[in-house]
Structure 1
Amino acid sequence: MVLHDTASTADAAEADAGRGEEKKRRRRKRKGRGRRKKATAEEILASGFVRRWAFPDASVNDHDEDGDDGKPTGAAGRVVFEFHSHSTCSDGFLSPTALVERAHSKGVDVLALTDHDTMAGVAEAVEAANKFGIRIIPGVEISAVYSPREESETEEPVHILAYYGSCGPSQFEDLENLLANIRYGRYLRAEEMLVKLSKLKMPLKWEHVAKIAGDGVAPGRVHVARAMVESGYVENLKQAFSRYLYDGGPAYAKGSEPFAEDVVQLICHTGGVATLAHPWALKNPVVVIRSLKASGLHAMEVYRSDGKLSGFGDLADRYELVKIGGSDYHGRSGQDESDLGSVALPVLAVYEFLKLAQPIWHIATRDMLSMFAEEPSEINLQKIIRFGKFNLTKEYSGVSCGKDVLDLCLLSSWLNNEERENSELEAIKVKY
């Protein structure tokens, strides 16, 4: 007589059933891939707008076919926006040039360089991007702190992304003064972290951390963490942060960050789009978002490479904030971060961002051009060409070329036809 192991038989039957369900799931997935979601009329029009902005020199038809799921497509395929990236000018691992080269290799068409508390890498990124036809959005991620208004609330760090037009901030000195103060605070903060690590029997030399950060770069936590790895105190960056450098950790130290509300107001004052970065890292997101919205916040990150965080999408809708997202790429060459261009943004999200941003950037450009027209000095000229957009030669280096500079601004590819023909800009040109 053959004895059957009923438990084994049941397990086998369950496994067979599971395999059957898995096969069905795979078939449904393959079938779903075969379907092509037809873009709505609204998405088609939005896609045309986005493509005209991304590829101003290309012929774009509003009725050109869109990609799957309403993603905008260009002549060579989908238009890829990357709104959040870092270089060696802050805590990234790639130089601005290398970052642009990687962006190109990943199919990115529009790249925002958003280093922490500095715009020092933007000019280099713009120059490198000219080789690949990539559009650069000058940006910066500003370190701030939310100060509680009530006893039940707690103070917490907040990061605000600022996006500017091709000429950058209209009041660059005001922004740079704020950023310089934050960077100075980073030096003091790093020194305090080294003192705390020394007390924890993990001494580090300042020269070691400064060398990792690079010349002129204010050291941050990631630079201290890299020094800890190189000194053998921890196995990797993740361990350094999870054990010692996390907010409130045994080796953590505060910097001299300004209030988040003041940062948002300054971004608005200087002609930028103020955007809340990674709201999922906040302890009290509703309180912070409500306060920043009252200060002028325009947008917030909602989309990630792992999909939209629906809860934060609802918050963005509640406070009428534009929804965007980015990879927050640092170039660590590991599996713990999303790559450039990995966040697939719906065309309507990009469209809403550009519709919001263009008038803001236009006003900033108008103000800078008007200032130069009224006082064609070398200082005012440099404010316009700070990020090297025009690649001016020696013959264009003096104020005598004022009209040529205005012509270049009015005819440049970063102004669309509607903006170039704007009566205010034409009046500035005639006035000069």
Structure 2
Amino acid sequence: MDLFESQSVDTQGVPAFSPTAPLAVRMRPTSLDEVVGQDHLLGEGAPLRRLVDAPTQQSHPLSSVILWGPPGTGKTTLAYLVAQASGRHFDELSAVSQGVKEVREVVASAKRRMAATGEETVLFIDEVHRFSKSQQDALLPAVENRWVTLIAATTENPSFSVISPLLSRSLLQTLRPLSPEDIRCLLHRALTDERGLGGAFTLDQQAELALVRLAGADARKSLTLLEAAAGAAGEAEETVISAHHVEVAANQALVRWDQDQHYDVTSAFIKSMRGSDVDAALHYLARMIEAGEDPRYIARRIMICASEDVGMAAPEILGITVSAAQAVALIGMPEARIILAEAVVAVATAPKSNAAYMGIDAALADLRAGKGGPVPLHLRDAHYSGAQALGHGEGYIYAHDAPHHVAAQQYLPDDLVGRHYYEPTMNGHEAMITKRLEALRELLKMR
């Protein structure tokens, strides 16, 4: 269900909601003071604060704005607040189901309205990243000529999903994910506010933890779950919403998942992949999924394990996990569970080596201990004027001119000559690297 279903509109086209609308709709902030989690955009003098606080159209011309942030962080709400506060007509389109035809109709109406009455228009486009390049191009004349003030919302990075001409003509504002405390604030407001549940229910501690966890950073999801849980409690003629009611509402078995469990299960998950126990790794993956962990977080942990624990023993595994993380971000749950499982199986069953990880940490330790003298003169940049007079590049041997394309010369600073950081294993692909590295180090020795 869309957040703004079951709505009417006022004389300016701004949605007005009935008491029978969903809880997430009824609890939409009516002022900036009710918006949570976006203080960096709404503080005194901040761009969005200035847009909303503008008292007249004439003295405060609005800039077009692109709002970038995760779902349920308030992008649509901010668009409504700007339109209401500025006194402009409001039109809303969704890039999911509408296209150039609807954009042109709105722009034509805005031009007629401006010519007839002088009233300006705010055009809100939700999920603007769903528009193709040509569809976004159709917005440019309207934005350039200020026929409309565009407020576009996107969950994807605008640098990749919004065309450059539209970005350059708009003010980009990034919304932050809501914190657990922000979600708690919204839940308690909905419990007590007359627009919400009006004090008819209370929330026990385990139910609150479950709602916060299941909602992630999504305000809309938290309120939708709360309303369903209140419905379950009401059907049982109870006024205290418990974890059982949340479980009924979420239609899933809730795994106990406090902060300790988060870290403990994540730790066991990584150690199981590192230890090559694929069955245990899949078990902990299932626990994380069932508990509502962000699949992108899980994908990041798998990528880290691929680089730290598989490493050069099977270097192709990192590419597999990176592709999996990208696919998870594109597809989302529940299908992302299959992609995550494939990545976990790949990491857990791969040969293991932490040699690259140990090598970079050893190099960093030497630097932090004060080791690492000046770069040898023959390796220094010799391309700028005066470099040769300083001896830069003198005596440098170009590797491709040497036998086997390996030039025997000093590469490390004087105080680290002979220091070996990378010590490959005999596992998987590193067995071949070990043999090759022995030959390379022999060739690099200066006679």
Q: Please tell me the TM-score bracket, short chain as reference.
A: under 0.3
TM-score by length of 1: 0.22
Structure with greater helix share of residues = 2
Q: Kindly indicate whether structure 1 or structure 2 has the higher relative contact order, using CA contacts under 8 Å at least 6 residues apart.
A: 1
Q: Report which of the two structures shows the higher radius of gyration computed on alpha carbons.
A: 2
